[in-house]
Chain A
Amino acid sequence: MAQIAVIAKENYPLYIRSTPMENELKFHYMVHTSLDVVDEKISAMGKALVDQRELYLGLLYPTEDYKVYGYVTNSKVKFVMVVDSSNTALRDNEIRSMFRKLHNSYTDVMCNPFYNPGDRIQSRAFDNMVTSMMIQVC
């Protein structure tokens, strides 16, 4: 696992966590660039299909060392996950369930009455969940 990012509807980061800290900048660039693909994938879907569409977008694009996966909630909040391409244990289904877990945890954050939607996520519970996810995958 390299990075997990939550991006707001307006495409600014709500939460970014990457494990090898030294390459953080690179991951930021990677996630940011992947948003174009996410936009493309969303707009590719018909308007009517948006409602019953699959939230999981699948592989956004592969780079030499990493795979970038995407997931979009109905409120257009994007989850982007960058994983090591050498990690073959991660198949589509695993990625999908990880995104679900992330989505649930994100929903919990949103339910917090003291959380102001649009602010950076600073929830400890969310953080722990991401940490556990990263440990589990690595």
Chain B
Amino acid sequence: MAQCVQSVQELIPDSFVPCVAALCSDEAERLTRLNHLSFAELLKPFSRLTSEVHMRDPNNQLHIIKNLKIAVSNIITQPPQHGAIRKLLNDVVSGCQPAEGLVANVITAGDYDLNISATTPWFESYRETFLQSMPASDHEFLNHYLACMLVASSGEAEPMEQFSKLSQEQHRIQHNNDYSYPKWFIPNTLKYYVLLHDMSAGDEQRAESIYEEMKQKYGTQGCYLLKINSRTSNRASDEQIPDPWSQYLQKNSVQNQLISRKGLSRSLFSATKKWFSGSKVPEKSINELKNTSGLLYPPEAPELQIRKMADLCFLVQHYDLAYSCYHTAKKDFLNDQAMLYAAGALEMAAVSAFLQPGAPRPYPAHYMDTAIQTYRDVCKNMVLAERCVLLSAEILKSQSKYSEAAALLIRLTSEDSDLRSALLLEQAAHCFINMKSPMVRKYAFHMILAGHRFSKAGQKKHALRCYCQAMQVYKGKGWSLAEDHINFTIGRQSYTLRQLDNAVSAFRHILINESKQSAAQQGAFLREYLYVYKNVSQLSPDGPFPQLPLPYINSSATRVFFGHDRRPADGEKQAATHVSLDQEYDSESSQQWRELEEQVVAVVNKGVIPSSFHPTQYCLNSYSDNSRFPLAVVEEPITVEVAFRNPLKVPLLLTDLSLLWKFQPKDINGKDNEEVRELVTGEPEMIGTEVISEFLINNEESKVARLKLFPHHIGELHILGVVYNLGTIQGSLTMDGIGALPGCHTGKYSLSMSVRGRQDLEIQGPRLNNTKEEKTSITYGPDRRLDPIITEEMPLLEVFFIHFPTELLCGEIRKAYVEFANVSKCPLTGLKVVSKRPEFFTFGGNTAVLTPLSPSASENCSAYKTVVTDSTSVCTALTSSASSVDFGIGIGSQPEVIPVPLPDTVLLPGASVQLPMWLRGPDEEGVHEINFLFYYESVKKQPKIRHRILRHTAVICTSRSLNVKATVCRSNSLEDEEGKGDNMLVFVDVENTNTSEAGVKEFHIVQVSSSSKHWKLQKSVNLSENKDAKLASREKGKFCFKVIRCNEREGATQSSEKYTFADIIFGNEQIISSASPCADFFYRSLSSELKKPQTQLSMHTEKHSVEDAVSLIQKCNKVDLNIVILWKAYVVEDSKQLILEGQHHVILHTIGKEAFSYPQKQEQPEMEPLKFFRPENTTATSRPSLEQLSNLIKTSLHYPETFNHPFHQKSLCLVPVTLLLSNCSKADVDVIVDLRHKTTSPEALEIHGSFTWLGQTQYKLQLKGQEILSLQLKACFVHTGVYNLGTPRVFAKLSDQVTVFETSQQNSMPALIIINNV
């Protein structure tokens, strides 16, 4: 129970005071009415004695009565009506609300901090009124009239007459059987005569004389002259006079209303009373009592006399005596089974026991319990039971027995009175919170119950207050179902009380929480919210947009895109893919793009990336670097993608959805305009705003909206949030469970029910973690993706691809066209393209002669530049030469960055240029994604944006075509036809690996070209007679070519980058391999290779001489020969024959080693075993391998293949043999030639040793770099037969290397000689 203003010791005596009736003459009534008061009201402020009163009890003991109070009331001859009391109580409660600025107590219980108002004045008012309006009943005498005041006015004609009339009237009322009400304490009621005199109107002397007359007649003790209006009105009116009546007036006016109304219906009521025998009046309970207990004492019964005595004692505060009397009476009543009487006696016995001074006995709570139970269950008198509970609870509270008090209070809640139940539940709740260990949750629960009952009783404000109090306990503790319910109720109640802001926030709370409610419930919540919200916004239509709670916005998922939407493919024109919001973020690819951009910027800035460089970001998301203000270009749209999520189970409809922004324009000089224009949609000349008219988000759906802004002026833009009408779609759900709000249950409003509001986009930047402070605290960096700076115009490039294939054979060459269009109003220049796969495409060489120019007439022509030749020169090579620099591949340049050969290097606004572009299918089979990054600049230098980029990703699917495998080996013949040094043989194996037999019919090898700085193809050595070089599916062909060293003189005069191309043609057309596109692709495929040996070389030169030697030795094994195989494929597609062309490259480095056109798949080692020890220092690869050393010297034997010798003439046959030693390296080499047969086993000797070398058996020689030396040997045979002459063993070592042993040189081929006998 809440704290009370009065203590229980004051409360109870004040609740049971002697009652005095007042009977006024009409004239006296009129007189008091002049002051707008009744006589009883007039006396009210003076009804408490401030002095002590003395009294002698039956034992003649002096007894002191303190603070005696009497209750004077005008005689009412009708018992109070049940309904009227109910109404009165209701009004009293609703009229008493907590004060606005009331400071609530803070109670801390566990982890709850609750604001609770300690007092409940409405409850006290209720209790007071309730106790006062108790109807008098026959089983007790506490509120029976103890005396009667007879009041007459001095202004009456016959005052004394009037007094006797009044006296008769009183007697009649008390003793006539017509009046069962009011009740009187004793038969001869004490009378008190009051003469009322108005000082301002009447004659005072007359009044005095009448008073004297009265005293003579009725005795001095029983008379009083009451003078009213004694103050003269001419006193200063501004003097403040205390008004003792004001505190009673409000309440009394209510009472008067009731009384006067009752007066009107009196006659009607008495008529109906006879029929229904007063169905609601307390008599009924007595009637029932007769039936139930069967006992009704007559008024003169001795048991009642004791009770009367007890009551009298109680009224005069003689509680000891009262207790003993009640106790006696209780026993008698119980003996007689007079339950109502017994209950009354028990109740008052308990109260007097409690009030006894000095507390000789404990408070008998069980008396009260019995009394309550009897009143309620036996007598069915809830009013008495309630009085009993109120008293007992208050007493228990004073003894800190909160738990018992709560139990009592809760027990009395019932269906018959919502108001009572509400108040008692609320008090019970207060009991729980006031316990020694506060029961917070019980408090909250009972508050909710109280709120519910208040609401049913029509006490909206109290209901709302209760729910709000309970909310403190449920808020944010995870009990969402209960929380939602309370919020919803608060919203409702607030709405009906027109507390719209509270209603909105309560409803908002339901909606933003992750709700576990059903869809129907949520729909109801939403509609109520919208309805209430609409009411709020109608109150202030010009106010700022309020924040809407729905739908959720995932701010960090907001993406911003700068630029136009990509035009879709237009016919055969295919636009560059660039960047769009449809692409998912991929960190790998964004890293690739970033690297590409860095590469091109480095090239533009002569190899250095400027410190101010930041990669261009067209699409900002949560992964991009948003720490800087992004730059947007004027007249180019900004698209913001907002990620909405509907948490509800009902769809949401957003209408007129647009972005909300703030713009700070700047003039051309970049100075701020003094005025900062804020907002919004109203300024289309600065920033155009796109509006999405309808945007539906289904239940529990996540959906993105793309909203555009069109900046028309430079300045700083800040995108603040979104603004929209929030609504729901009609008729999806019907309300159930919860009725519609008053005035809106037509169900139609959902159609137009939408409210306008905003939601802000606030994006938290990444958490900072660099400095120590940042690491120890939690700080977040800025995120500026929504604050773009609008800069001046920049050129804008569009790139279209025409005839761009999606499928190619590996190595296939295809010609396509690229269109570059400048769609801006600024000229652009410096156009470059960068790609990680430069070998995939070319724009042709940068010399116009080498580039075929035929953009339009391209349909069935070859992609290559060709020359018709006569077929006579088939087997010999046609040579030409070209420098790699011409094709953009040179030492030190970045092959990935390719300048686009624009005709004038500038693309004017609106202009477009078509350029040919050759593509070569990548050598690997499969799907290839190839990224192109186009770089361009404005002609006018911009301080903020240096360059712009355009991205394109091409997807090419390649299928297998040819596999080319080539080996080079030294030719046995020492000289070529022209008698010049080195020559070699190249074996080329070509296999058709294409598997789609339906598509590709056959491949024709049309040409094989070589490209090298030092070597060239000389002629074809036809192995097979297959001259047309056709390869059907799965067929394999072999070619053999002779390679010779280029003219050294040519090589010397030309730059080192000059390559000699030699073409060997199998058809009648020569493809000029040194021209675009053949040479382009050759160089591009070479470019990656070009780099590697350079780095290797430079590394080697830094090392000491051993390494030198090694490289020398290695070099003699090296060859830089590149083979280009050009082919045509005959393809049938849609019953049309197509000829596809292509080329494969084989790069030969090492003699004798196979080289492939396609990258060899390397078997991935399964899993390297973990090493737990440090690997020992591996000795540097300074020592050349044995194999390398064995290739220093090339040997060949020259001799006649058959030799006829007449053995019968001469038994010894001598054959001259020339051993040619040629030094492959460029250093001096010491050579040892040993002719002695290796003696491995005697048998072997038997077989081979049938010939011997004559003469010197060992030679020690030194060969200079690339020197060829011939040794004349003689072989001696004794029999005819076939002999292998290849027995000389050659050892070699570098001359200046002491440490290295001579190494046995690779044996040349078996050299067979036939010796015939003639």
Contact = CB atoms under 8 A, between A and B. Distances in A.
Q: Is the interface of B mostly helix, strand, loop or mixed?
A: helix
Contact of B482 (A10, A11, A25, A35): A25
B1221 interface: no
Contact of B445 (A24, A32, A39, A40): A32
B727 to A, nearest CB: 28
A25 B481 contact: yes
B481 A12 contact: no
A32 to B, nearest CB: 5
B543 interface: no
B1091 interface: no
Interface in A1-36: 8, 10-13, 24-25, 28-29, 32-36
Contacts of B482: 25, 28-29, 32
A34 B441 CA distance: 8
Nearest to A36: B439
A33 B442 CA distance: 5
A93 interface: no
B354 interface: no
A43 B436 CA distance: 12
B276 interface: no
Given A39-B110, A39-B437, A33 B445 contact: yes
Given A32-B445, A33-B441, 7 more contacts: A8-B478, A12-B477, A13-B479, A25-B482, A36-B440, A39-B437, A43-B437
B1224 interface: no
Interface string B432-451: 10000101111011001000
Interface in B182-233: none
Contacts of A33: 441-442, 444-445
Contact of B441 (A10, A13, A36): A36
Interface in B379-438: 432, 437
A39 B110 CA distance: 10
25 contacts: A10-B111, A12-B477, A12-B479, A25-B482, A28-B479, A28-B481, A28-B482, A29-B445, A29-B448, A32-B444, A32-B445, A32-B479, A33-B441, A33-B444, A33-B445, A34-B441, A36-B439, A36-B440, A36-B441, A36-B442, A39-B110, A39-B437, A40-B437, A40-B439, A43-B437
Contacts of A40: 437, 439
A114 to B, nearest CB: 21
A100 B440 CA distance: 28
B485 interface: yes
A16 to B, nearest CB: 8
Contacts, number: 42
Contacts of A11: 110, 477
Which of B440, B444, B478 counts the most chain A CB atoms within 10 A? B478
A11 B474 CA distance: 11
A33 B478 CA distance: 14
Contacts of B477: 11-12
Contacts of B432: 36
Interface of A: 8, 10-13, 24-25, 28-29, 32-36, 39-40, 43
Interface in B826-873: none
A76 to B, nearest CB: 12
Contacts of A25: 481-482, 485
A91 B152 CA distance: 76
A25 B445 CA distance: 12
Contact of A24 (B440, B478, B481): B481
Contacts of B437: 39-40, 43
Contacts of A34: 441
A34 B478 CA distance: 16
B439 A32 contact: no
A32 B474 CA distance: 9
A35 B441 contact: yes
Interface of B: 110-111, 432, 437, 439-442, 444-445, 448, 474, 477-479, 481-482, 485
Contacts of A39: 110, 437, 439
The 5 tightest CB contacts between A and B, nearest first, are A12-B478, A36-B439, A33-B445, A36-B441, A36-B442
Interface SS of chain A: helix
A28 B441 CA distance: 12
B485 to A, nearest CB: 6
Contacts of A13: 478-479
Contacts of B441: 32-36
A36 to B, nearest CB: 4
Nearest to B481: A28
A8 B477 CA distance: 11
A7 to B, nearest CB: 9
Nearest to A16: B481
A97 B440 CA distance: 30
A40 B439 CA distance: 8
Contacts of A12: 477-479
B1107 to A, nearest CB: 57
A9 to B, nearest CB: 11
Contacts of B445: 29, 32-33
A44 to B, nearest CB: 9
Contacts of A8: 478
Nearest to A11: B477
Nearest to B440: A36
A134 B845 CA distance: 83
Nearest to B446: A33
Contacts of B474: 32
A24 B441 CA distance: 18
A25 B479 CA distance: 10
A33 to B, nearest CB: 4
A39 B481 CA distance: 22
A34 B477 CA distance: 15
A43 B109 CA distance: 13
A11 B445 CA distance: 15
A25 to B, nearest CB: 6
A10 B86 CA distance: 44
A36 B478 CA distance: 16
Nearest to B110: A39
Contacts of A24: 481
B444, B445, B481, most chain A CB atoms within 10 A: B481
Nearest to B443: A36
Contacts of B478: 8, 12-13
A40 B402 CA distance: 14
Contacts of A10: 111
Contacts of B442: 33, 36
B516 to A, nearest CB: 9
Contacts of B440: 36
A19 B363 CA distance: 46
Contacts of A29: 445, 448, 482
B167 to A, nearest CB: 58
A36 B111 CA distance: 13
Nearest to B473: A32
Contacts of B444: 32-33
A17 to B, nearest CB: 13
A39 B1083 CA distance: 84
Nearest to A12: B478
Contacts of B110: 11, 39
A92 B478 CA distance: 30
Nearest to B516: A24
Q: Choose among B110, B111, B444, B479 the residue with the greatest number of A CB atoms under 10 Å from its CB.
A: B479
A24 B521 CA distance: 13
A36 B441 CA distance: 6
Contacts of A35: 441
Contacts of B485: 25
B411 to A, nearest CB: 12
Nearest to A38: B441
A42 to B, nearest CB: 11
A53 B439 CA distance: 23
B52 to A, nearest CB: 47
A2 B444 CA distance: 22
B518 to A, nearest CB: 9
Nearest to A8: B478
Nearest to B441: A36
